[in-house]
Structure 1
Amino acid sequence: MAASRSTASVARLARAGGAASARVPHNKRREAMDAATWERIKDHPCYSEDAHHYFARMHVAVAPGCNIQCNYCNRKYDCSNESRPGVVSGRLTPEGALAKVRNVAARLPQLSVVGIAGPGDALFQAERTLKTFELIRAALPDLTLCLSTNGLALPDHVDALKALDIGHVTITINYLDPEIGAEIYPWIFHNHKRWKGVEAARILHERQMEGLERAVEAGVLVKVNSVMIPGINDEHLTEVNTAVRARGAFLHNVMPLISDPAHGTKFGLEGRRGPSPAEIHTLRESLGNDARLMKHCRQCRADAVGMLGEDQCQSIDTMAPAATADDTPRPDPEIRAAWREVVADSRAAHKVAADEAEAVVAAAAPAAEDRLVAVCTRGGARVNLHFGKATEFHIYKVGAEGIRFAGIRRADNYCLGGYGESERLDTILTVLEGVSAMVCVKVGDGPRRRLEAAGIACHQDTRHETIETVIADWYADAVGAPMGAVSQPA
């Protein structure tokens, strides 16, 4: 009976999320990865571009204090309308975190990772972080545990993290040159003393490099986050990339500065702009198009829950009714195991579809240049969304190297209450700078004409097919054809 309930539950999830019918773009880079490394990242939505379409992550906000001050950070509470690092709606004790994780895992069989990302620094009050991990590891051993840190305290805790089997650590590294670092960090707190200016930046840099090296030596997969800050470190990040790769970083994730004045950060209040999507794309391209660049980051809240891009921290009842885990729901291991079977089948099926799409592109590509395509999708790696409802565009590069995911570009959706907003379309056109085509289920005549005028071809496809298949169809038709034309499959 239990097995039947488990199978039925997973089937419903698969139908709702589209996972039962191949959800994820085939990633050829996986073929070059050793099997042991693939096993470590295949269910981690932040470490695997493939996994983020299948699996959910959860951040537990047990680390409120911080040992540095960033000019782009403002830790805020009860900010339900903001989705960015440092923001949470409540702080948890380690016991409360366990209760919350159990509750979410019982509701979301897709949950594979629990991380601690603040809202301060996970290792400034390390005892809270380590206690939380200890409790979760004992209660839910199938979950992957990870943390994010600024790196200042990391060298002191690598051994403790390794003892708890914390195999994934993210370090935010924004500079190598302390002169540049002093423009980003006004102070740090280290060895019971507050340091300022260039000296503070020098200490932070040295500790970050030491922590990175020690973590890699301990067998931890390290992801490095870097915030691109125009006018400060934008040209410097190529050097950062070279340095962290040389020290064994598994991934490098270049993220845009978030600088809305409403957030109250120093950079926001002084009017420092964030980079445009095209600038982020250009920098990432300059760093190389390989498996060591992360391009699907959503810069999540410190209490994020759910799939990347579908944060449920406000909509799902994730708060446990008590401060302990005694009375909270228990995850059904059969359902969780069945979900992984669904994922395995989906990955195999999608590889077939993606390989066929790659063959179509390869036949057309020699005579054509690379182009960027914006995809309207609600998930499942399918073209399954109307243009007017898209709040983010998945960008793919198509050409001689095949079809490659290139990043996410966000914009408010064009349609509100059935009507389009002209100002929002202006913003969308800016966001889609450098894009040659947009593929969607449908696009209205008004926005279509605006997109065409901007040189963006519109390709409508109502089949809810896989992204690679639709892109390949458009590309094969578009090679040699004038831009700005609407195409639609027969």
Structure 2
Amino acid sequence: MESGRCSGPALLEEINRHPCYNEEAHRYFARMHLPVAPACNIQCRYCNRKFDCVNESRPGVVSEVLTPDQADKKVRGVAAQLMQLSVVGIAGPGDPLANPDRTFETFRKVRSGVPDVNLCLSTNGLTLLEHLDVIEELGIRHVTITINAIDPEIGSRIYAWVYDNGVRYEGKEAAELLISRQLAGLKALSERGVLCKVNSVLIPGVNDVHLPEVSKTVKSLGAALHNVTPLIVAPGSPYEQEGQRAPRPKELHALQEICGQEGMKIMRHCRQCRADAIGLLGQDRSADFTWESIEQAPPLNLEAREQLQASLDEKIRQRQQRRRGPDPEIIASDSSEAARFITRVAVATRGSGKVNLHFGHAQEFMIYESDGFTVKLLGVRKIQSYCHGRAECNGDKEATLREICSILGDCQILLCSGIGDHPRKQLQRAGIVPIVRKGDAENLILESSRYSHYFQNHFNSKG
């Protein structure tokens, strides 16, 4: 990192328990988003905030906007029950810094009531420079800034308007103001030692070619992590009305690879969470923590929380040691076909680094690549689940299955805890080998990838 104090061991310590900043941590540590910030000071053309849609999973969507007092009460209740909760963040449903009083009052209450959690803030960055001192004062050590462009011409195609100090700006003027504030805020935060993650939404035909330049620029200003996410076109948004398409998985992966070539660390496990999400990434448990359950929560036990989280730290250390893989000379000396075969594997998982989910219930797949010796996470692919249960299986399942086969079309293997005969056969026809196993995902990926050439030859010979 070119600026700031967060590098080397200090950086590792900061991200050790943050599931967004640490790929290993997201399997074990939970986060909680507090929806206390309803107002927003910019209008993105892909966004349409709704507060009452429980079935949508995208940023800007919540079921209930909380007051700071309600948020404080809920954090205490959740922390007493969800012992692996390590991060409390504010990400909306609007922009937290467009609601500074509500946002910082909430953070103060959380810091007092549950002092062992890390505080995290997500913002569009328009007013970031105004709040640097209070961010540092409250010990907010992680800030995410959404930066979709550094060229105002491109930004004018992403932002409909920007509202600042009572003045509404539009077009290139709006984008120029926003971008200048974002970049200055990022630089200032990183110089103060705050860990900064930059989110960028990949919008085909708008900023896709431009994002590598964004990645290079934010890295030079001190960003620790770049998270390139696929566009989600919100219902009723300007982009939906214009027919703007979302990127395909191959487009997202290719762009992530390009952005990572300059040495920038790329986040690949993002779930584009709701602004009221609770639990592990990809396993939102917000519906479990009703006000009734909060009222009945046991007293907060900070010692028990630390013991549990220390045990999770050890699990992460063990996983990291296993992932280092064998000596490169051992790999080079193995000239077998399996050792040279790069396999792409889709994994159905409920979390915790396990293959533990039935194919029909999956709403996303973790995508990995392996050469039989090492495992690399490529990203997450969202799907419409094939079946939610007998009462909800009356839709066009064949169309859903065809879509899943298309989304996973570049994968050779799918790992899941179970699968029906029909989807198994359809996946095989698409060149994807379903393997039903339960257990540690990375061990099963390594094992299956070593035999991938055999599986492919076997099924190809059967047509």
Q: TM-score w.r.t. structure 2 length?
A: 0.90
Q: State the alpha-carbon separation in 2 of the partners of residues 321 and 366 from structure 1.
A: 52
Query: Does residue 1:460 correspond to 2:409, yes or no?
Result: no
Residues 448 and 481 (structure 1), Cα distance of their counterparts in 2 relative to 1, 3 Å cut: closer
Specify the alignment match of 2:167 in structure 1: 193
Residues 356 and 287 (structure 1), Cα distance of their counterparts in 2 relative to 1, 3 Å cut: closer
Specify the alignment match of 1:21 in structure 2: none
Question: 1:46: Cα distance to partner?
Answer: 1.0
Question: 1:457: Cα distance to partner?
Answer: 2.3
Contact 2:364 2:380 in 1 (8 A): yes
Specify the alignment match of 2:190 in structure 1: 216
Q: State the alpha-carbon separation in 2 of the partners of residues 208 and 99 from structure 1.
A: 33
Question: 1:219: Cα distance to partner?
Answer: 0.4
Query: Which residue identity is paired with 1:51?
Result: A
Specify the alignment match of 2:313 in structure 1: 344
Of 472-481 and 327-336, the range deviating more from structure 2: 327-336
Residue correspondences, number? 446
Q: State the alpha-carbon separation in 2 of the partners of residues 304 and 233 from structure 1.
A: 28
Query: Does residue 1:449 correspond to 2:431, yes or no?
Result: no
Q: State the alpha-carbon separation in 2 of the partners of residues 398 and 266 from structure 1.
A: 40
Q: State the alpha-carbon separation in 2 of the partners of residues 482 and 426 from structure 1.
A: 20
Q: State the alpha-carbon separation in 2 of the partners of residues 358 and 80 from structure 1.
A: 49
What is the CA RMSD across the aligned residues, in angstroms? Answer: 2.6
Mapping for residues 75-474 of structure 1, pairs under 5 Å:
75-260=49-234, 263-288=235-260, 292-318=265-291, 330-351=299-320, 354=323, 363=334, 368-399=340-371, 402-417=374-389, 421-461=397-437, 464-474=438-448
Contact 1:281 1:406 in 2 (8 A): yes
Contact 2:338 2:453 in 1 (8 A): no
Q: Unaligned stretches of 5+ in structure 1?
A: 1-32
Q: State the alpha-carbon separation in 2 of the partners of residues 390 and 482 from structure 1.
A: 24
Specify the alignment match of 2:4 in structure 1: none
Question: 1:378: Cα distance to partner?
Answer: 2.0
Residues 330 and 280 (structure 1), Cα distance of their counterparts in 2 relative to 1, 3 Å cut: same
Q: State the alpha-carbon separation in 1 of the partners of residues 412 and 210 from structure 2.
A: 29
Q: State the alpha-carbon separation in 1 of the partners of residues 254 and 86 from structure 2.
A: 32
Q: State the alpha-carbon separation in 1 of the partners of residues 198 and 291 from structure 2.
A: 29
Question: 1:483: Cα distance to partner?
Answer: 4.6
Q: State the alpha-carbon separation in 2 of the partners of residues 212 and 181 from structure 1.
A: 17
Q: Secondary structure at the match of 1:311?
A: coil
Question: 1:365: Cα distance to partner?
Answer: 7.5
> What per-residue deviation string (whole Å, max 9, x for no partner) do you get for residues 286-321 of structure 1?
222767111111111111111111112223215788
> What per-residue deviation string (whole Å, max 9, x for no partner) do you get for residues 21-76 of structure 1?
xxxxxxxxxxxx83221111111111111111111111111111111111111111
Contact 2:280 2:351 in 1 (8 A): no
Question: 1:386: Cα distance to partner?
Answer: 2.7
Q: TM-score w.r.t. structure 1 length?
A: 0.85
Contact 1:397 1:404 in 2 (8 A): yes
Q: State the alpha-carbon separation in 2 of the partners of residues 331 and 126 from structure 1.
A: 28
Q: State the alpha-carbon separation in 2 of the partners of residues 291 and 194 from structure 1.
A: 35
Query: Which residue identity is paired with 1:67?
Result: N
Residues 245 and 94 (structure 1), Cα distance of their counterparts in 2 relative to 1, 3 Å cut: same
Contact 1:102 1:329 in 2 (8 A): no
Residues 214 and 345 (structure 1), Cα distance of their counterparts in 2 relative to 1, 3 Å cut: closer
Query: Which residue identity is paired with 1:293?
Result: I
Question: 1:99: Cα distance to partner?
Answer: 1.0
Specify the alignment match of 1:476 in structure 2: 450
Q: Unaligned stretches of 5+ in structure 2?
A: 1-6
